[in-house]
Amino acid sequence: MNDATFTKSLCPLCGGPDHRAVSTTGQFGIPAHVVVCVDCGSSFLNPRWTKERYDRFYSSEYDTYYRPEVVSQNDDRYKFVPASQIVTRLQRYGLLRPFQRVLDLGSGMGHALTYLRNVHEPNAQYDALEPSPTCRTHLLSNGFGYVGADVYGPWDDQVKDSYGLVIMRHVLEHFHEPLEVLRKVRAVLRDDGLLYVAVPDAMHPTKPLRSHFFRVVHINYFTRRSLAAMLGMAGLEMLHIAEGDDLSKNEVFAICKKGPVTKFQPDTTEAARQLALYRDAGRLDTWYELKSWGISILRRLRLIN
Ligand SMILES: [Zn+2]
């Protein structure tokens, strides 16, 4: 972790250069320089690792930190929960239909694709974009198409206007250039295609902030407002957007289709709201850290599940 090279950035949403620092470290004690943009209130890492450093992390280190099932045997009772949430939400809005071709961006082992194939549409074509070589091997051996490892690469050239559904579940917050990625996604959607996107909600963050919510791999911290703004800038029209529901209180999710590109109008009062929320939520960090430490001890002693 000590060979990280950091690079400065402007606000990924409005391009503003004026930012307020919120934190310098995040999960696992790895530096995470969270700032809030004064002009539009969006939060993101600045400075952040270079793209080369992130590429190395995702290719060879990410699984160790975040995907225990890839590197060892793991309790897999919960592996289809996120996928079942996607299906339930599409169903609730009357948007679960034959998709014919589905892409999961940042698919990991492909649990969402497996779930859709099992419970919804056995004969659709399922594709994945995923940087981890271990996951790639697993995806290919499970009969999934593999469009590439690098989201900024030319993977989209071969699959323009192809997909009935693109899934981006907790991936947009990881990207250096989230707007560029959304534009590529728009280009690979069919005219009747849907994008399902879900991100952690910076207005309803999981706690503690400093050792859980803030993390080096999350470059962008979206809210309902900032996600909606960026989707519009990419020409993605929201059919639905929600700031949490009964399935998850701490995420923003949206279901979109191709639409016109809309201009972003920053709200200069948003920065004060976001800064106040982080300040108040962060006051409880020590309490939440002690609580999670206590729970892990009880689990190790097998006094709770
Ligand atoms: Zn901004």
Q: Amino acid letter at 113?
A: L
Asked if 189 and 198 count as a contact pair (C-beta separation under 8 A), the reply is no
Q: What is the pLDDT of residue 106?
A: 95
Q: How far is the CA of 248 from the centre of ligand 1 (A)?
A: 27
CA 294-61-147 angle, 5° bins = 125
State mean pLDDT over 135-160: 96
User: Residues whose CB is under 5 A from ligand 1 (ion)?
Assistant: 11, 13-14, 16, 37, 39-40
Confidence band of 304 (pLDDT split at 50, 70, 90): confident
What gap in Å lies between CA 41 and CA 275, rounded to an integer?
Answer: 8
- Segment 69-88 shows an average pLDDT of 79
pLDDT tens, 282-294? 898 888 888 888 8
Q: Is 218 exposed, middle or buried (0-12, 13-18, 19+ CB in 10 A)?
A: buried
Considering its fold, how many domains does the chain have in total?
A: 1
Residue 187 lies in a domain: yes
Q: How far is CA 36 from CA 7, 62, 80, 232, 283, in A?
A: 17, 26, 34, 21, 18
- Output the CA 141–ligand 1 centroid distance in Å: 43
pLDDT per residue as tens digits for the range 169-182: 999 999 999 999 99
What is the residue-averaged pLDDT of the chain?
Answer: 93
- What's the token pair of residue 30? 């790895």
Pairwise pLDDT comparison (235 vs 295), residue with the higher score: 235
Residues 6+ apart with CB under 8 A from 192: 164, 257
Ligand 1 geometric centre to CA of 9 (Å) = 11
pLDDT tens-digit map of 246-255: 999 999 999 9
Alpha-carbon distance of 236 to 38, in angstroms, equals: 26
pLDDT the model gives residue 47: 95
Q: Amino acid identity of 216?
A: V
| Residue 305 included in any domain | no
How many angstroms separate the alpha carbon of residue 145 from the centre of ligand 1? 37
Question: In 3-state terms, what secondary structure has residue 74?
Answer: coil
Ligand 1 center to 60 CA (angstroms): 32
Distances (CA, A) of 223 to 43, 44, 203: 9, 11, 6
CA 202 / ligand 1 centre spacing (Å): 15
Q: Report CA(61)–ligand 1 centroid distance (Å).
A: 30
Beta bridge partners of 34: 23, 45
Could you tell me the distance, in angstroms and rounded to a whole number, from the CA of residue 42 to the centre of ligand 1?
6
pLDDT of residue 305: 72
Kind plus residue range of the DSSP H or E element containing 70: helix 68-71
Instruction: Kindly give the distance from the C-alpha atom of residue 177 to the centroid of ligand 1, in angstroms, as a whole number.
Output: 14
35-39, 72-76, 126-130, range with the lowest pLDDT: 72-76
- Does residue 169 lie within any of the structural domains? yes
Q: Is residue 50 part of a domain?
A: yes
Residue 3 pLDDT class (50, 70, 90 cuts): low
With CA atoms as reference, report the closest residue to 155 among 180, 191, 134.
Answer: 180
Which of the residue ranges 10-24, 66-80, 81-95, 274-288 would you say has the lowest mean pLDDT? 66-80
pLDDT digits (tens, 9 = 90+) for 203-256: 999 989 988 899 999 999 999 999 999 999 999 999 999 999 999 999 999 999
Q: Which two tokens stand for residue 275?
A: 């800064």
The pTM (predicted TM-score) of the whole model is: 0.91
Contact 265, 209 (CB under 8 A): no
Q: Nearest CA to 130 among 117, 118, 142?
A: 142
Q: What is the pLDDT of residue 72?
A: 58
CA of 82 to the centre of ligand 1 (A): 30
pLDDT at 70: 64
* Residue 1, in any domain of the structure: no
Residue count (the chain)? 305
The residue assigned the tokens 């972003």 is: 264
Q: What is the model's pLDDT at position 156?
A: 97
Distance 238 CA to ligand 1 centre (A): 21
- Domain that includes residue 186, residue range: 6-300
Question: Is the pLDDT at 74 greater than 80, yes or no?
Answer: no
The answer to whether residue 244 sits within a structural domain is yes
pLDDT number for residue 288: 84
Ligand 1 geometric centre to CA of 15 (Å): 6
**Residue 125 domain flag:** yes
At 56, which CATH number?
3.40.50.150
Q: Are strands 145-148 and 125-129 parallel, antiparallel or unpaired?
A: parallel
**For residue 277, pLDDT beyond 70:** yes
State in Å: Cα 11 to ligand 1 middle. Answer: 5
- What is the structure's pLDDT at 76? 67
What is the helix (H) or strand (E) element at residue 163, kind and residue range?
strand 163-169
Give the Å distance between the CA of 142 and the centre of ligand 1.
Answer: 42
Residue appearing with tokens 């099992």:
118
pLDDT score at 4: 62
Cα(201) to ligand 1 centroid in Å equals: 17
Is position 86 within any domain? yes
Task: Return the structure tokens found at 168.
Answer: 């981006």
> What is the predicted pLDDT for the residue at 219?
96
From the list 68, 126, 124, 113, the residue with the least C-alpha distance to 86 is: 113
% residues pLDDT > 90 (the chain): 76
